[in-house]
Amino acid sequence: MWCVAVAAGSFRRYATYRVATVAGVFTNTVFGFIVAYAYLALWAERPHLGGYDRAQALTFVWIAQALLAASALMSGGGLDELQERIRTGDVAVDLYRPADLQLWWLAADLGRAALQLIGRGVVPLTVGALVFPLALPGDAATWGWFLLSVLLGVVVSFALRYLVALASFWLLDGSGLSLISGLACMFFSGMVLPLRVFPGGFGEVAQLLPWAAILQVPADVLVGARGGDGLVRGLVFQAAWGAALLALGRLAQSAATRKVVVQGG
Amino acid sequence: MRTETAGGGTVAGDGAAAEPLIEVDGVEKVFSVRRRAGRLRRVRQEVRAVDGLTFRVPRGEMVGYIGPNGAGKSTTVKMLTGILTPSGGRLRVAGIDPARERTRLARRIGVVFGQRTTLWWDLPLKDSYELVRRMYRVPDPVYRANLDRCVELLDLAPLLAVPVRQLSLGQRMRGDIAAALLHDPEVLYLDEPTIGLDVVSKAKVRQFLREVNAERGTTVLLTTHDLTDIEQLCRRVMVIDHGRLVHDGGLDALRAAGEGERTLVVDLERELPPLEVPGARTVRVEGPRQWLAFPAGRSAAPLVTAIAERYPLVDLSLREPDIEEVIARLYAGAHGPAPR
């Protein structure tokens, strides 16, 4: 299957950026410490904020750092490249292939995410676990659910970024939109603070938005904040957003390829 | 409207025997462009990129497709590959309507852009080929045979393990051409395949294309600004300007259509005032050497005799009209009033 080859190729490709990976690991770890101490101060003042105890809150911090690159919490991922290809017209080359554009980039993004989960996720989480008392699960099943939830989160993240990238077919320069979308993701995924911390209607709405599927749900699965049918509901919530956004991406894609003047040459 | 076949029909077997692989009938492409007109007002304006294009390409032919920038070449190729939908007319490639069945058609065509690459930038060349094999579901023996052939003819062996980003332009181009041929396409669209290449690389690419066309019978549509490509590869050339065909025929016919002039260069024993010979005019004098221009359709023999009789002739040479000049004249001529 060519999708597997695309994902594998993408994985290998990101594996060649070794210096970037090392630099990323260093940055994630440093930021993990900074945010962890900020959370410690906050939770000392307000224990059980958002229903998380201190260990769970610290775990949330390190999960966010571990998923930052893989789930593209702040921006881009590999889709900046698609945006650039649309801007320069190189996307025409992609359209000559007997392959679906969305499927191609989804496969490439999953390959990238797998590499970055291993390359940039494991070390920060391990460092965090060695220095701070984290609430990591001891059973393999919870880790399995967590990984499934991360996978669904990456799909949702991809589907959103794909839509943003496709907007370049209509906008001459999509960088403004990318910036806004990156900021929205950073906040509404729960990376700044877990969404449950926000009181009232705002918190509830934020937990229903697609960005919540990217970090909030996987992190809750890992720290055990989703007991009983909460786990299943979380996964269904992610899958539903993933399916809806991918479908929207397909619509945008067919509209784009139908109307669009591929720019240049 | 201007005649579409200024040079008198196609060259290679356009008869009933050859099955047309590419059929283009009155195809149009109209883009709607918004223009500023004043501060806030925007005016919609129609741009006819391709305007009533009609031609056929039989299986196995190698056709040059040329025209100035913005003439509609790329738009035509994009419609032929299905990534642009024509606004009007009928278009078939291998019996398939490209815009409707782009993906199905994609398995049967190969596309090479001189200025864009289909290869995976950060990975070894070989990885891109493996991906082509899976994406086009090329059977193993076919893939192996095609790859070996390309590797041999395009000297790719030392490059297979090299990441694409480290390849030189010429190497990358060869790599791209190979990638477009691994799945045995019936049609190959080449867009500026020799752009930016040195003389040796150009020759290598041309030789390879000739062999692919001769041995595989691959139909080739070649878009280029380098007319040497056309002269060396194509017997038939189509010239497009302002979205219309202004010439479709052989290169010789193109030269004649361009009302080109041949040049007789004569070396005399000594410096002389400009020669006066009926049927020719002296266009340049440089010491004992003089250049005489005469219509391309006429024989040089009487001219040579006339000069030899009257002047002290030492040596002479004959220059055919420069195809670039012919085409430049053709482009300029096609700008005349055309009904829109």
Task: Collect all residues of chain B within an 8 Å Cβ-Cβ radius of residue A96.
Answer: 81, 83, 106, 109, 111, 118
Of A142-146, A244-248, B42-46, least confident by mean pLDDT is: B42-46
Q: Give the Cα separation of B12 and B228 in Å (integer).
A: 19
Q: Is the pLDDT of residue B16 over 70?
A: no
3-class DSSP assignment, residue A172: coil
Q: Is the pLDDT of residue A73 over 70?
A: yes
pLDDT at residue B18, as a whole number = 59
pLDDT at residue A22, as a whole number = 95
Per the CB < 8 Å rule, is B84 touching A97? no
Q: Is the pLDDT of residue B9 over 90?
A: no
AA identity, residue B225? H
Residue of A96, A170, A253 for testing the chain B interface, max B β-carbons within 10 Å:
A96
Paired with B293 in beta bridges are: B263, B281
More confident of the two residues A215 and B308: A215
Per the CB < 8 Å rule, is B107 touching A92? no
The DSSP 8-state label assigned to residue B163 in this structure reads B
Q: Is the pLDDT of residue B340 over 90?
A: no
Task: Collect all residues of chain B within an 8 Å Cβ-Cβ radius of residue A258.
Answer: 85
Residue B9: count other Cβ atoms within 10 Å of its Cβ: 11
What average pLDDT does the segment A151-176 reach? 92
What average pLDDT does the segment B282-287 reach? 89
More confident of the two residues A223 and B39: A223
Of A155-159, B41-45, B81-85, B214-218, least confident by mean pLDDT is: B41-45
**Taking Cα atoms as reference points, which of A189, A95, A24 lies closest to residue B77?**
A95
Residue of B84, B162, B181, B189 for testing the chain A interface, max A β-carbons within 10 Å:
B84
Q: Contact at 8 Å (CB) between B47 and B60?
A: no
Task: Give the pLDDT band of residue B257 (cuts 50, 70, 90).
Answer: low
Q: Give the Cα separation of B63 and A220 in Å (integer).
A: 63
DSSP string, A120-155: HHHHHHHHHHHHS------SHHHHHHHHHHHHHHHH
3-class DSSP assignment, residue B184: coil
Residue of B75, B87, B96, B134 for testing the chain A interface, max A β-carbons within 10 Å:
B134
Task: Collect all residues of chain A within an 8 Å Cβ-Cβ radius of residue B84.
Answer: 261-262
Range from A187-196, B251-260, B261-270 that averages highest in pLDDT: A187-196
What average pLDDT does the segment A207-222 reach? 97
- Global pTM reads 0.83
The DSSP 8-state label assigned to residue A30 in this structure reads H
Q: Is the pLDDT of residue A55 over 80?
A: yes
Which of B31, B104, B120 faces A9 most closely, judged by CB atoms?
Answer: B120
Phi, psi (degrees; rounded to nearest 5) at B162: -90, 135
3-class DSSP assignment, residue B340: coil
Which residue of chain A has the CA closest to B72? A265
Q: Is the pLDDT of residue A169 over 70?
A: yes
Tens digit of each residue's pLDDT (9 = 90 or more) over B112-159? 988 888 898 889 999 999 999 999 999 999 999 999 999 999 999 999
Task: Collect all residues of chain B within an 8 Å Cβ-Cβ radius of residue A97.
Answer: 106, 118, 135
pLDDT at residue B259, as a whole number = 64
Task: Give the pLDDT band of residue A76 (cuts 50, 70, 90).
Answer: low
Task: Collect all residues of chain B within an 8 Å Cβ-Cβ radius of residue A92.
Answer: 78, 83, 113, 116
Task: Give the pLDDT band of residue B337 (cuts 50, 70, 90).
Answer: very low
More confident of the two residues A184 and B11: A184
* Percent of chain B predicted with pLDDT > 90: 44
Q: Is the pLDDT of residue A260 over 60?
A: no
Give the minimum alpha-carbon distance from A256 to chain B in angstroms, rounded to a whole number. 11
Range from A72-81, A125-134, B236-245, B265-274 that averages highest in pLDDT: A125-134
Tens digit of each residue's pLDDT (9 = 90 or more) over A121-145? 999 999 999 999 999 999 999 999 9
Q: Contact at 8 Å (CB) between A195 and A207?
A: yes
Q: Contact at 8 Å (CB) between B233 and B214?
A: no
What are the strands of the beta sheet with B261-268, ordered from one edge?
A: B281-286, B289-295, B261-268, B313-319
Q: Give the Cα separation of B180 and A93 in Å (integer).
A: 11
Which residue of chain B has the CA closest to A3? B135
Task: Give the pLDDT band of residue A256 (cuts 50, 70, 90).
Answer: confident
Structure tokens that stand for A146 in this block: 């967590």
Tell me the average pLDDT of chain A. 92
Phi, psi (degrees; rounded to nearest 5) at A149: -65, -40
Which of B83, B104, B107 faces A95 most closely, judged by CB atoms?
Answer: B83
Tens digit of each residue's pLDDT (9 = 90 or more) over B49-59? 899 999 999 99
What average pLDDT does the segment A75-103 reach? 86
Per the CB < 8 Å rule, is A262 touching B78? yes
Phi, psi (degrees; rounded to nearest 5) at B314: -105, -45
Structure tokens that stand for A1 in this block: 């299957």
Whether this model's ipTM surpasses 0.90 comes out as no
What are the strands of the beta sheet with B20-36, ordered from one edge?
A: B42-58, B20-36, B88-93
